[in-house]
Amino acid sequence: MAAPPRVLIADDHLLLRAGLSRLLADAGMEVVAEAGDADDLLRKVAAHRPDVAIVDIQMPPDQTDDGLRAAMRIRREHPEVGVLVLSQHADERYALDLIGDDASGVGYLLKDRVGDVDEFAGAVRRVAHGGSALDPKIVSLMVGRRRTDDPLENLSPRERDVLGLMAEGKSNAGIAAALRVTPAAVEKHVTRIFGKLQLGHEPSEHRRVLAVLALLRATR
């Protein structure tokens, strides 16, 4: 059985940090540190090496995108640390900047997603274990954009739906529940997606991350 994720929470609002800390502790995770600004976040990531850092996109000292820039630096300097960014705005540009060319161990959620405790805790665990978790509103924006050289053009509408839910971090069972189909049907769609994206020779979890990355590249 995997050890509970070790979590660092970075937000300049003390009450929100305390609330997230209690929520995650109740979900069986270990909160190893908290930070109130971007500089403190970077220091504590280096000191504690958490499995995942939960980062508010707007933090001191500038109260602009300091949290996002710190999160991107963590991804460069500590690639073993997962990063889950929380934002008040559904801005796909921020998500794309954060993810870059590697969709593993990264998440971008709107703050109102925290209200669904089970979904939020699941997203934290996925990112801590190298998966991805993108907010449904962000995924909807990405799927809605099309390019003339769309790498997903061979996917059927249903396969695009499945890939979008995969980008949110849902398991096959979660995708089946969302689409009201059987898990076996989802497995067939996932297999076809892997085949059409030529992802047939990687472990399943890694292929899921690569498929999400293909979706992101289709919106650039």
Q: In the predicted model, is pLDDT for residue 147 greater than 80?
A: no
Low-confidence winner among 76-90, 136-150, 187-201 (lowest mean pLDDT): 136-150
Please list the residues that pair with 34 across neighbouring strands: 9
Q: In the predicted model, is pLDDT for residue 40 greater than 70?
A: yes
Percent of the chain with pLDDT over 90: 52
pTM: 0.78
Which of the four pLDDT bands, split at 50, 70 and 90, describes residue 145?
Answer: low
Which CATH code for domain 6-139?
3.40.50.2300
pLDDT value, residue 92: 78
Domains in the chain: boundaries: 6-139, 147-217
Per-residue pLDDT averaged across 136-164, rounded? 77
pLDDT value, residue 134: 87
- Strand 132-134 to 82-87 pairing: unpaired
Q: Which two tokens stand for residue 163?
A: 């890939």
Which of the four pLDDT bands, split at 50, 70 and 90, describes residue 219?
Answer: low
Percent of the chain with pLDDT over 70: 90
Would you tell me how many other CB atoms lie within 10 Å of the CB of residue 162?
27
pLDDT value, residue 20: 94
Write the pLDDT tens digit of every residue in 5-36.
999 999 999 999 999 999 999 999 999 999 99
185 neighbors 176 (Cβ within 8 angstroms): yes
Give the amino acid at 23: L
Q: In the predicted model, is pLDDT for residue 220 greater than 60?
A: no
* SS3 of 119-175: HHHHHHHHHHCCCEEECHHHHHHHHHCCCCCCCCCCCCHHHHHHHHHHHCCCCHHHH
Q: How far apart are CA 48 and CA 67, in angstroms?
A: 18
Residue-level length of the chain: 220
Low-confidence winner among 59-73, 77-91, 201-215 (lowest mean pLDDT): 201-215
Would you tell me how many other CB atoms lie within 10 Å of the CB of residue 26?
10
**Which residues are CB-neighbours of 185 under 8 A, at least 6 positions away?**
176
- Mean pLDDT in the chain? 87
- Strand 6-10 to 52-56 pairing: parallel
Q: Which CATH class is domain 147-217?
A: mainly alpha
pLDDT value, residue 113: 85
